[in-house]
Structure 1
């Protein structure tokens, strides 16, 4: 499994709330079409056709290739505002053509199951550097512990907050029940990492109720 940071400041304002409430993240870069089967070379070609060049082209190509091709279902992602850091379990890439306009630009998406939030001041230096990276999407360069998500982030003795900071995200009971059923089924998977992720997610949910 791998860990990634998505820089909200580079994506633009106003995205934190929909990310947390609608359970997804995006990479930006509208007007490129569906990238599901696009390798890095094809991504670069589309960016050049859209007018990207120089350093902006390099950064866009690297971010999109990471988002579309390098990230995998079951990896982890971090986003942050000024006060809180949010950790989520990633799903597959998908393209939403209804949001591919210049004024929106959230068409390139991955689903996310948000697991926990902690105060930004409590995360360790390597996580702070990941969140401050000058690309929209950046892979964590270090080695992750095999278990215990809190070890990736640092000492969270300052306390764990509800997602979306002061206002908890409301999820209907039917959606919660469906999500828990999926996680419980994953506990019986032959994949040990998948079992571990499911167990962590269930325990995190149990701690909140």
Structure 2
């Protein structure tokens, strides 16, 4: 699954108690109506007209809307930082809440979230800390991760890495042969296979 980060320091930390209590995350985006069935060219045109922004500001708005409405999918995972804590949730579908008000206090654009776990940020793995410190309202982890990896990231960083325990039981010759196969796979004509091989090599290098 894919993993996203919502940075409340930029989005508005005051919304976190409501997000946790009512099981959703959301944005206001005044001037933007329900985007559930709106095509990419149409919502981008609508955003340009609504915000009258240019350059980097417009790009950030477009990336924000595109990621939240179209990039996130039901079943992806979301991290939300909350001071010294981090919350992990299972994302649901995008939905729009009608309102007569059009300001930043009304978060019309929402995604349901099933909150799974909250832990002190200091107890998370360094790899997760690096992701949590990104300076954007919404960020996406470059590679997909497994449920086991998420659980590992949310545990104390002092615990031994599972990858290290596995490699200790495999002789160096076998590891070398496996790496050679992965290197060959990186030259494959299949883009997905190349990507998986590259991820596997990088994960081994970090072990």
Shared fold (TM-score greater than 0.5)? yes
2:9 paired with 1:19: no
Partner of 2:61: 60
- Rounded to whole Å, the distance in 2 between the matches of 1:39 and 1:124 is 39
| Deviation of 1:88 (Å) | 0.3
Partner of 1:30: 30
| Deviation of 1:123 (Å) | 1.9
Partner of 1:187: none
- How many residue pairs match? The answer is 158
Which structure: larger Rg? 2
Q: For 1:161-197, what per-residue CA distance to the aligned partner results, in whole angstroms no more than 9, with x for missing partners? A: xxxxxxxxxxxxxxxxxxxxxxxxxxxxxxxxxxxxx
Partner of 2:169: none
9-18 or 85-94, larger mean C-alpha shift: 9-18
Is 1:93–1:108's contact at 8 Å kept on the other side of the alignment?
yes
Give the SS at the match of 2:41.
Answer: helix
Partner of 1:46: 46
Do the aligned partners of residues 124 and 27 (structure 1) sit closer, same or farther apart at CA in structure 2, a change above 3 Å counting?
farther
| Deviation of 1:90 (Å) | 0.6
- Rounded to whole Å, the distance in 2 between the matches of 1:91 and 1:129 is 25
What are the ranges of 5 or more consecutive residues in structure 2 without an aligned counterpart? Answer: 160-207
Between Structure 1 and Structure 2, which shows a larger proportion of helix residues?
Answer: 2
Partner of 1:145: 146
- Rounded to whole Å, the distance in 2 between the matches of 1:41 and 1:153 is 38
Dislocated runs of 4+, deviation >6 Å:
none
What are the ranges of 5 or more consecutive residues in structure 1 without an aligned counterpart? Answer: 159-209
- Rounded to whole Å, the distance in 2 between the matches of 1:128 and 1:41 is 35
Partner of 1:133: 134
| Deviation of 1:100 (Å) | 5.8
TM-score computed with the length of structure 1 as normaliser? 0.68
- Rounded to whole Å, the distance in 2 between the matches of 1:31 and 1:15 is 20
Do the aligned partners of residues 100 and 147 (structure 1) sit closer, same or farther apart at CA in structure 2, a change above 3 Å counting?
farther
Do the aligned partners of residues 74 and 102 (structure 1) sit closer, same or farther apart at CA in structure 2, a change above 3 Å counting?
same
RMSD: 2.3
